[in-house]
Chain A
C-alpha cells in the first residue's frame, strides 16, 4: 500500500508541486519507500528468498530513480547498482527482465549526466542485448516492475505487459540513439532514431504531430546523404501521420485556438521540409548534368537517361531493403503519398518542372502560416527557397527568353522584401538578399547578352536592357560591400572568414559588369574600363597581401590577373583611337 502511494506521489503529485519546492512530493515518496524497505527486511526471515530479492530490487530501483530525479546522483547510482546485483542471477526470467532493462536504462542516463558517455553506452548496449536474448529464448510478455507489489487480482493482462515491456525497450533504443550521437557515430545514431520512430508507430506510443515532425526532420538527415528515397519515405509518413492528428474539435475557448495555431505551424513546418526535398533533388540533378561552365550537358543527359532505364528493374529490390514505416494500412497511405513526387533525379525540363511544381505548392502552403507579419525570418527563408527553386528550374530551360523571365520572377519576389527589411535587426538576411538580387540581375544580364549575340546587330532596346540590368547588379553588389563597412564607413582591411568569398565574388562581378556596359561614348568607355581595372586590381592586391585568400577564389583570381594584364593595353588602344593625333 505504501509502495503504491509512493509511486503516485512521485509520478502524479510531483507535477503539482509548487515551483519553490519542486521536489516536495519526491522527498515524501522517498521516505515512504525507505519505510517499505525496512518492513521488507524485517520480514526477511519468513518468506521465500527469491521473491524477497526481487521485491527488494524493485525498491532499490524506485529509490535509485527517486534520487537521480532529485539531482543526487551517487546515492541513485548505489541503489540502482544494488538493484542490478540482486537481479543478476534471474535477469532472464519473466518477472525480472523488464525491471533489469529499466535499471540499466537509468544507469545509462545517470552516467551520461556525469559526461561519461562510454560507460552509459555499455549499460544501454547490455540492455539491448538482454532484450534480444530474452525475446529469442522466452518471448512471453514479462511481468511489469509495478506488479511485484500488486494484489493478485490487479495484475496486468498479457497485452498490457507486453506493451510496457516494449516501451521500456524502445526507451533503450532511444537512449542509444543519443549515445551514438554524442559519440559522433552518426550513421548508427540515425539508424537508431529511425528504429525508435518505427517502434513508436508499431506500439502506438506516439503523439502524431510530434512523430510527424521527428520523421520529417529525419528526412533532412537522408537529404544530406543524398538518399532521396529514404527522405521521401520519411516525409510521406510524416504527412500521413500528421493528417491523422486530425482537426482539434473547434471549441471556442482560448486553448483550442492555441492548439489550432500550433497545428498550423507544424503543418507549415512539414511543408518546408518538403520544399527542401524538392530543392535538393533538383539541385543534385543539376550537379550531375552540368558541364564545366554550369550549363546543361546534353551528352551527359542522354547517358544518364540510358543508365536510368537499366536501373529501373533493380529498383523494386532496393525498395524492400529500406526500413518502412507503419502497418499495412498506414503503409498504403504512405505509398500513395510517395506517388506524388519522384525520388529519382530529373533529367529534363519536363521532369524538373514536375518537382518544381510540387515544391512551389509547398511554398504556398508554408507561406500561409509564416507570414511576414510576425515571422519575418521564416517568411524570408521560404521566399529564398522559392527563388532557389526558380533558379534551378531555369537551369533546365533551354529557351533563354523564358529563362530570363524565371529570373525576373525571382527579382519580383526578393526586391520588395529587401526594401522593407531593417538591417539593424536582420543584417545577415539583408546581406543574403543583396547578394542574391545582385547575382540574379547579373545572370539576367548574361542571358540578354547571349540573346543579343545571336542577333545581327544589337538594337537600342537590347542595349538599354543590358545596361540597366548591369547597373542594377552593380548597385546590389555595392550595397552588399557597403554593409561590410564599419561604422566610420571604412572598408575592412582584412575580411572576415564568413564574408571573404562573397565579398571577393562581388568585387569580381562588378569588374566584369563594368566591362560589359555598352556605350558609344569613348570617354565613358574608358572610364568604365578604368573602374573595371580597379576592381580586378583589388582582388590581385588582396591575395598578394593575404595569400590564404587565394584558396577561396582561385578561378576568379586567375581571370583577374589576366584582365589586369590585358586592360591597360586595351585602354591604350582606345585612347589612341580617341586622340589619333597625339
Chain B
C-alpha cells in the first residue's frame, strides 16, 4: 500500500471563518478585509494596492470540517501509520477559529458532533487505519498507541494530564529525540479514549481574559500520539514508531516573540527587573555574523525546541492559519498571512524510520 509523496515543504492552509458568529459585528462593522479568489489564493483588501497571497489550500467560509480534515490532516495521519513523524499546527489570532477548526464547537464534548474538528477526526481515522492494518496482517502485526498532552505557558511546561505537576523539563534522548521528562503517557486503545483524554486535558488549560479580549488563550497546547507498530516476519522483528503532534498555538496577537513579530522592544518592565532580554538583542546581532563558528544559548524557545523535528527537520508538517475576515482584524490578518507565507519557505525532509532487528529466536 502506498501513497503519493508530495515533496517535503511544509504545507500551509488558510481557513477563513464566517464573521457572523464573531463579536466583531457588535458595533455594526460589516466590512470584510479579504476575499477568497480560488481554492489556493486569497486577496487582502489593503490600501492602496490589494495583496494576493497563494497557499497550498484556502478554505472559504463555507468549507466543511470534513473537507478541512481531508485536505489538511488525512495525508499526515496516513504517513504516521507508515513510520513518519507528523505535525499539525493551528495558528492565528484569538477569535479566528483555531479551536473550532481543531476541536469543534466549544460547548460540546460530544465525539459524534457533525461539526467536530480536525483532532477528533484524526483520532477516528488513525484508529480506523490501525484496525484495517490489523485485519490485513492478522496476528503478525501489533500496535501500541500512547499519548501525552502538555501545555507551554510562559516558557514553562505543564502536564495537562496531571494537574498536580509543574515545571517539567525538556530533554533529549539519542534514540528517541526530544521528550518532556516526567510527562504522563496514557495508553490508548480507541478513538473514544483519545477524545476522553483530550477533553480532560483541555479543561486544565490556562485561559485569560482582558478588557480587550473576551477570552484569550495564553498558552500553546501540544497533544502527542506515539504510534508503535511491531511486525514479525520470518523471525525478523520490525519495529516502527512515529509521532503525531497536534498543536494549538497561543493567540498570535499575544506573541511578542521576536521570531514571529519582529519589531517590538522588549520592556524592562518594573524598575527593579533586570534587563533580561538584552541577551536576545545581542543574539540577534550575532546571528547576522558571517558563517563563523559561534555559540548562542538563548535561541530556542521551549515550543520550537520540542517541535524542532517538525520545523525544518524530519517530518511531515502542516500549518492551518486561521483568519477572521472582519476589517477590524486587518492588522492581525495581515500578520497571520505573512507568517503563513514565511512558513512555506521551511522545508522538511522525511525519512522512514525502520529499525530492523535480526532477532533469531
User: Which residues on A are within 8 Å of B, measured CB to CB?
Assistant: 11, 19-23, 27, 70-72, 108-109, 112-113, 115, 117, 120, 164, 167-168, 170-171, 174-175, 177-179, 181-182, 184, 186, 189-190, 193, 196-197, 200, 205-207, 210, 213-214, 217-218, 220-221, 223-224, 269, 272-273, 275-276, 279-280, 283, 372-377, 385, 388, 420-428, 483, 486-488, 496
6 other contacts beyond A20-B208, A182-B265, A269-B297, with CB at 8 A cut-off? A19-B207, A120-B265, A190-B282, A193-B278, A214-B279, A423-B353
A-contact bits for B289-304, CB 8 A (1 contact / 0 none): 1101111111000000
The answer to whether B175 and A420 touch across the interface, beta carbons within 8 angstroms, is: yes
Q: Nearest Cβ in chain A — how far from B68, in angstroms?
A: 26
Nearest first, the 7 A-B pairs at minimum CB distance are: A425-B177, A224-B289, A424-B353, A376-B172, A112-B265, A427-B314, A374-B171
The answer to whether B265 and A276 touch across the interface, beta carbons within 8 angstroms, is: no
- A174 CB contact (under 8 Å) in B171, B275, B285: B275
Within 8 A of A (CB), among B105-126: none
B361 part of interface (Cβ distance < 8 Å): no
Given contacts A214-B279, A422-B176, A487-B350, contact A276 B295 (CB under 8 A): yes
A-contact bits for B256-279, CB 8 A (1 contact / 0 none): 000000111111101100111011
The answer to whether A214 and B278 touch across the interface, beta carbons within 8 angstroms, is: yes
Instruction: Give the complex CA separation of A213 and B279 in angstroms.
Output: 7
- B174 CB contact (under 8 Å) in A19, A273, A283, A376: A376
Contacts of A220 in B (CB 8 A): 282, 286, 289, 294-296
User: Which residues on B are within 8 Å of A, measured CB to CB?
Assistant: 5, 85, 171-178, 181, 206-212, 218, 262-268, 270-271, 274-276, 278-279, 281-286, 288-290, 292-298, 309, 313-314, 347, 349-353
Q: Nearest Cβ in chain B — how far from A10, in angstroms?
A: 9
Main SS of the interface on chain B? loop
Given contacts A164-B271, A425-B177, contact A109 B211 (CB under 8 A): no
Contacts of A221 in B (CB 8 A): 282, 285-286, 289
Given contacts A182-B263, A214-B278, A427-B351, contact A223 B284 (CB under 8 A): no
- Highest count of chain B CB atoms <10 Å: which of A168, A372, A424: A424
Given contacts A19-B208, A186-B288, A224-B286, contact A112 B314 (CB under 8 A): no
Q: Nearest Cβ in chain B — how far from A501, in angstroms?
A: 13
Contacts of B352 in A (CB 8 A): 487
- A376 CB contact (under 8 Å) in B173, B295, B313: B173
Instruction: Give the complex CA separation of A21 and B207 in angstroms.
Output: 9
Main SS of the interface on chain A? helix
Provide 29 A-B residue pairs closer than 8 Å at the C-beta atoms, listed in order of the A residue: A22-B208, A27-B211, A70-B212, A108-B265, A113-B265, A117-B263, A171-B275, A175-B268, A181-B285, A182-B263, A193-B282, A197-B278, A205-B274, A206-B274, A207-B274, A213-B279, A220-B294, A221-B285, A224-B286, A224-B288, A224-B290, A272-B297, A276-B293, A280-B293, A385-B293, A388-B293, A422-B176, A423-B351, A424-B314
Contacts of B85 in A (CB 8 A): 424-425
The answer to whether B292 and A280 touch across the interface, beta carbons within 8 angstroms, is: yes
